[in-house]
Chains A and B, each alone.
Chain A
Amino acid sequence: MINSVRSTVLSILNKNNFGYISPADFNNYCKQAQLEIFEDYFSKINKQINFENVRQSGTDYANLVKKISEDIEYFSSTNFLSHFANNIFYMPSLSTTGDSWFMTGKILCYTNELATGNTSSVVVNQLVDTAGAFTSKGIVANDIVVNVSTGDIARVISVVSATVISLTADIFTYAPEDYLILESASVKEAEKVTHGKVTMLNTSNLTMPNNTFPAYTLENSFITVYPSTVNSKGQVLSQYTRYPKDPKWTYVSLIGGEPSFDQSQPDYQDFELPQEEEPNLIIKILAYCGISIRETEVYQFAKMEERENDAK
């Protein structure tokens, strides 16, 4: 979609010889335009829910909440959170989960520890512990296995024997390494609590967070999970909405000529918005271009289009 957007933007700009937009500028405008549209989804869905509550929204093709939800859910991501210290975990970020977190959906805690120990030998995609006694510990498929030394996580495929478990990933590469196995059925959703409430909550006789009803607070890029026994990697899984990846129009430089689009470049990134957003992207990028090349006509045209779209 990004090449099509660029071609359209350039053709509109060139129609009246308004000027030229370099690939670097274009990429910057793309990022801004995409973010604007992405963030707008959340206010749009809220508006639609309010319409629903006053019976001004329909079902089937008129169900706009469903459509906007789908657009947002494209950016949904689920990852285990990296452990910082004690009951504190890193929120998703480029360095920990490989994406940037925009909004937390839910925080899940695995509170029941099934087994701990250390590996006795290395076999690809397996956990081997001669003292394991895995068959008597209630370990089943999909339970979580954590390499405590590295923080790597895998799921149980099957318990092969009392000493061997087969895993979804090769997380034990030398022996001995400490491991921890958590029961996936023990998962409980932690509730977000404000800092204004958390101290009182932790001293409340009836509602103090526990393994059945955990809670968490957010501070900077860390979350603190309560009860404090939730304190190792693999115990906290997060579902969140990530930011869209920065779009990048990549090209091959031609000597003395126009840059030629090349999507085989490793840093190529298309827009992550649905196809129907192309006109909106073009309008928003044109508005940025208008400011950049100081063409008020382009800017005013783009803004007028945007207003018309909003009024629909």
Chain B
Amino acid sequence: MAYISQFKYYTNNGVAPTDANFGSYQYVSLFDIVNNFMLMYNGNHSLVNNEERFKVLFHAKRAIQELNYDAFREVKTLQLTVSDDLRFILPSNYVNWVRISMYKDGYIRPLTENIQVMSTIQYEQNINGTIVFDINDNVVYIDPSRLNEDRLDGVQKSIYLNSSNPQNGNLGWNIDGAWYFSYTIGARYGLNTETANFNPTFRVDNKAGVINFSSDMREESCILEYISDGMEGGDDTSVSVNKLFEKYIYAYINYEILDKKLGVQEYIVTRARKDKRAAYLNAKIRISKIHPGKLLMNLRGIDKIIK
């Protein structure tokens, strides 16, 4: 019997969302991985024996997480408009960003990260500089902090780049899209390369769960390309992994269990580790899509002189 009928594949049996099964054949579900492992690798005559299923589940999920971090090429995207607070709230399944772009006038403009602090908390201090406490002995915060306020008001200086303008390369203030410059006396030394970009800049505040932008990003559309951990927000029925990595996941679970088990000979653990490594490399090569046709195209151009 087929895994899924053609009708169900193309129409999901008429049930919304009708595109739910598109491309599903590339993937194997978490349930199948755990089930197959318990059936094929765990038993009276296997190296893995009398192991609880929840341990297998744990290692399977960890394997999927690790693969999502550095092996899969599955980048998720989210587009949002940055509002007055100059923040982009990270999606619920966000783990790390790949690229952050501004979408303007039909163009996607990749933005650069500003490694300088863009947002901070600030304690209330009295005139002597000592920290002020409330009646519960907690510090009193200034919200927004001076730094945040300046950024929101656009009063932080940034470099202006426009070769056709005499102010090109000078530090100025971008307020509501208009640039203001102080009177230049003497010379400016050095260039702040982080901000030496015509486009807005950003900094990801992981703990706060937001991306902070410079003031020129206000009301602009932002596209975040990011990676997740593949856990689909904790919904086990949606967790799946590309079939090219299926063997690796079994090898990973096998190794993790044998490695932590009491009394397993070291040569068995080593064998399991090598299996895991080999499966990983194999899968990486497969998923990198190196086709003979592609190689042929490259080889054809081998003698071409680049002028």
Contact = CB atoms under 8 A, between A and B. Distances in A.
B45 A213 contact: no
Contact of A52 (B44, B62, B231): B44
Interface string B161-203: 0000000000000000000000000000000000000000000
A53 B58 CA distance: 28
A135 to B, nearest CB: 13
B236 interface: yes
B54 A191 contact: yes
A215 B44 CA distance: 22
A53 B45 CA distance: 6
B58 A207 contact: yes
Interface string A204-221: 111100111101000000
Contact of A215 (B34, B45, B54, B237): B54
Interface string B123-161: 000000000000000000000000000000000000000
Contact of A213 (B34, B44, B62, B234): B34
B54 A212 contact: no
Nearest to B52: A191
A201 interface: yes
Interface in A167-209: 191, 193, 197, 201, 204-207
7 contacts: A49-B44, A52-B45, A191-B54, A197-B52, A205-B234, A207-B61, A210-B236
B277 interface: no
Contacts of A205: 234
Interface in A274-290: none
Contacts, number: 38
Given A212-B237, A213-B236, A201 B45 contact: no
B53 interface: yes
Interface string B35-47: 0000000001100
A52 B45 CA distance: 8
B31 interface: yes
Contacts of A193: 52, 54
Interface residues of A, number: 16
B269 interface: no
A206 B61 contact: yes
A206 B214 CA distance: 37
A185 B184 CA distance: 76
A55 to B, nearest CB: 11
B57 interface: yes
Nearest to A190: B53
Contacts of A210: 236
Nearest to B30: A212
A52 B62 CA distance: 34
B84 to A, nearest CB: 35
Interface in B256-300: none
Contacts of A206: 57-58, 61-62, 231
Contacts of B44: 49, 52-53
A216 to B, nearest CB: 12
A201 B54 CA distance: 8
A212 B53 contact: no
A212 B31 contact: yes
B46 to A, nearest CB: 10
B52 A213 contact: no
Contacts of A213: 31, 34, 53-54, 57, 236
A103 to B, nearest CB: 15
The 3 closest A-B pairs by CB, nearest first: A212-B236, A207-B54, A191-B53
Contacts of B45: 52-53
Contacts of A52: 44-45
A207 B34 CA distance: 12
A227 to B, nearest CB: 11
Contacts of B237: 211-212
B51 to A, nearest CB: 11
A53 B46 CA distance: 9
B69 to A, nearest CB: 15
A215 B53 CA distance: 10
Contacts of A212: 30-31, 236-237
Contacts of B57: 206-207, 213
Contacts of B231: 206
Contacts of B30: 212
Given A53-B44, A201-B54, A212-B237, 5 more contacts: A49-B44, A52-B45, A53-B45, A212-B31, A213-B31
Contacts of A201: 54
Interface string B208-228: 000000000000000000000
